[in-house]
């Protein structure tokens, strides 16, 4: 048989289905992971690999167990569609949308279009949402990756009761209970260390980054023995205060969920069997009915998180890496919606809120923050909650105190985002006439330029320039443990005591001389011993 005839016969033998099943090693969006081949999608200057499993589905008997390894697959897995959000009620970070998906432990990888032969720094993103809601798909890392020669990984993890239910009946041999979502994050980080080189990433330069509860999670990883050696730097956006919970403080709320689900309280084995057999809808309904007194949170104790993170740092028993952390100027303006306050706000309502949060110290606070100093008492309420770091320790002086702890033990960089006209977000919606300013989550639009799903308005030219600068700072930090690079405004190390804080604003990146005065930190310190 001649050469031409042989080729014709060969082409006739190879069917279309066989061609699609065979990996094309030259295809730019075809990558072999340890579990199998994945094919992503090319967009503009980036490649996206969406919905890759990093753990087995935590369903059935795997509900409320540590994540297990994912199953491998044959052929090529399409990685072109976002994974569903983990099970959660409507609202939260998914306005008007709920999710019933327990099969949700997936991650997405974003990389520059041309990575052949490169070993790029990795930004490992953990979403916020109060440990109760959120999803990795809200954060498209294409621009961050493509513009800065970096790899971005965004993950899902179990949230609310599915990720953080703490019950005695769930205690394992190591005393772990209530930390399933945190264990998911660790499993995803191990997956990255094992697989990211195949995507052009450097497993020796993985920076963990998160915002709000995602930043709390980053802080927890700094204290987690199981995370040792898995990352080289840490970024905490609006969450460096590292709050956690104890099982004792959680107990009443967790038992209330069990009761609302109609499961027994006295028999641990029967209780667990009952809870594992409830549908997602039944458990979400129980969560919504239960009178929770504590926010969702990982639980300190057991081998997953043996020590409060800041205490671990102070004692030297932590995963020591460089830290970049910061806050937004007007953090708590986004919180008024969640504490039932409206705009405009009356002075009487302002006083009532302050008294409800601060009790006997309210009179001193109202004197320090007179309503007459603000265009509306709602802004006074937000200023008090921001500066005090109440609730959640998200801003102002609470962040500064945490930064002082880190600065005493490692290279630390501290920032405040200040843009009075930051793009509004779809959630929470701003009341008509209310200026959100640089509220909680305002930084996300700047870090994920055009990739944050809740950005409700486009950037101005100066805001886009600031976004470019912030992305470069983040990528520089992932690359070398410092945000500085030749040609950028110098970002000094934070030395403690308010010295060396960088303000990130459109048209201006500079060291702040007055962070403590801006947030009344001397006043708040005076109340600590009162």
The strands making up 76-78's β-sheet, listed across from edge to edge, are 30-32, 37-39, 76-78
SS3 label, residue 470: helix
| Continuous H helices in 342-491 | 347-358, 362-368, 377-388, 396-407, 442-447, 461-480
CA angle 137–26–73, rounded 5-degree value: 55
DSSP letter at 332 equals G
Residue 54: CB partners within 8 Å, gap ≥ 6? 67, 70, 105, 106, 107, 155, 187, 188, 191
Do the Cβ atoms of 239 and 214 come closer than 8 Å?
yes
Task: Return d(Cα 161, Cα 164) in angstroms, integer.
Answer: 5
Q: Residue 57 has which token pair?
A: 């589905």
Residue 231: CB partners within 8 Å, gap ≥ 6? 124, 189, 206, 207, 208, 221, 319, 321
Strand partners, 236: 210, 325
Task: Return d(Cα 393, Cα 307) in angstroms, integer.
Answer: 18
Catalytic residues: 212, 331, 440
* Long-range contacts, 480-489 (Cβ 8 Å, 24+): 481/232, 481/233, 481/321, 481/322, 481/411, 482/322, 482/411, 482/413, 483/324, 483/413
SS3 label, residue 241: coil
Counting beta carbons within 10 angstroms of the beta carbon of residue 135, is it exposed (0 to 12), middle (13 to 18) or buried (19 or more)? buried
> Phi and psi at residue 485, in whole multiples of 5°?
-155, 150
Q: Which residues of 140-149 are buried (b: 16+ CB within 10 A; e: fewer)?
A: bbbbbbbbbb
Lookup result for tokens 């990739």: 451
Lookup result for tokens 């000094």: 492
DSSP string, 92-133: TTBTT--B--S---EEEEEEES--TT--EEEEEEE--STTTS
Q: Please, what is the end-to-end C-alpha distance for the chain in angstroms? A: 97
CB atoms < 10 A from the CB of 136, how many? 26
Task: Return d(Cα 325, Cα 413) in angstroms, integer.
Answer: 6
> Phi and psi at residue 127, in whole multiples of 5°?
-70, 160
Q: Residue 97 has which token pair?
A: 């949308």
Task: Return d(Cα 254, Cα 427) in angstroms, integer.
Answer: 27
Lookup result for tokens 């809740």: 454
């Amino acid at each position: 048989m001649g050469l031409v005839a042989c080729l014709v016969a060969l082409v006739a033998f190879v069917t279309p289905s066989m061609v699609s099943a065979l990996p094309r090693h030259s295809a730019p969006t075809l990558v072999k992971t340890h579990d199998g081949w994945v094919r992503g999608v090319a967009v503009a200057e980036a490649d996206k690999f969406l919905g890759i499993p990093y753990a087995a589905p935590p369903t059935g008997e795997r509900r409320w167990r540590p994540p297990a390894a994912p199953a491998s697959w044959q052929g090529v897995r399409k990685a072109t569609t976002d994974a569903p959000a983990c099970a959660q009620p409507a609202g939260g970070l998914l306005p008007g949308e709920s999710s019933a998906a327990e099969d949700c432990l997936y991650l997405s990888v974003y990389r520059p279009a041309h990575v052949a032969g490169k070993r790029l720094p990795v930004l490992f993103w953990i979403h916020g949402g109060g440990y109760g809601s959120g999803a990795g798909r809200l954060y498209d890392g294409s621009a961050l990756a493509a513009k800065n020669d970096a790899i971005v990984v965004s993950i899902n993890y179990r949230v609310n009761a599915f990720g953080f239910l703490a019950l005695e009946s769930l205690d394992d041999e190591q005393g772990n209970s209530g930390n399933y979502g945190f264990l998911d994050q660790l499993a995803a980080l191990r997956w990255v260390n094992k697989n990211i080189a195949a995507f052009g990433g450097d497993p020796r330069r993985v920076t963990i980054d998160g915002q709000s509860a995602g930043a709390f999670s980053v802080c927890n990883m700094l204290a987690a023995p199981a995370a040792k050696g898995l990352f080289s730097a840490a970024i905490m956006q609006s969450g460096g205060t590292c709050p956690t919970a104890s099982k004792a403080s959680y107990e009443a709320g967790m038992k209330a969920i069990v009761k609302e689900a109609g499961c027994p309280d006295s028999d641990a084995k029967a209780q667990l069997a009952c809870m594992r057999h409830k549908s997602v809808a039944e458990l979400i309904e129980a969560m919504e009915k239960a009178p929770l007194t504590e926010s969702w949170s990982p639980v300190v104790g057991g081998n997953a998180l043996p020590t409060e993170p800041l205490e671990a740092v102070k004692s030297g028993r932590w995963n020591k890496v460089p830290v970049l952390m910061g806050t937004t100027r007007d953090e708590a303006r986004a919180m008024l919606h969640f504490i039932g306050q409206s705009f405009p706000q009356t002075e009487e309502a302002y006083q009532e809120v302050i008294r409800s949060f601060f009790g006997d110290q309210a009179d001193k606070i109202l004197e320090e923050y007179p309503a007459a100093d603000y265009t509306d008492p709602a802004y006074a309420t937000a200023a008090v909650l921001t500066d005090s770091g109440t609730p959640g320790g998200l801003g102002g002086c609470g962040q500064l105190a945490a930064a002082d702890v880190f600065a005493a033990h490692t290279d630390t960089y501290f920032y405040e985002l200040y843009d009075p006209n930051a793009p509004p977000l779809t959630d929470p919606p701003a009341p008509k006439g209310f200026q959100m300013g640089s509220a909680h989550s305002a930084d996300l639009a700047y870090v994920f330029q055009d990739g944050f799903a809740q950005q409700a308005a486009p950037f101005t030219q100066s805001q886009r320039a600031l976004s470019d600068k912030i992305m470069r700072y983040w990528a520089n930090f992932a690359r070398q443990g410092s945000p500085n690079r030749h040609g950028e405004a110098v970002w000094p190390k934070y030395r403690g005591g308010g010295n060396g804080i960088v303000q990130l604003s459109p048209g201006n990146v500079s060291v702040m001389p007055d962070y403590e005065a801006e947030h009344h930190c001397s006043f708040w310190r005076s109340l600590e011993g009162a």
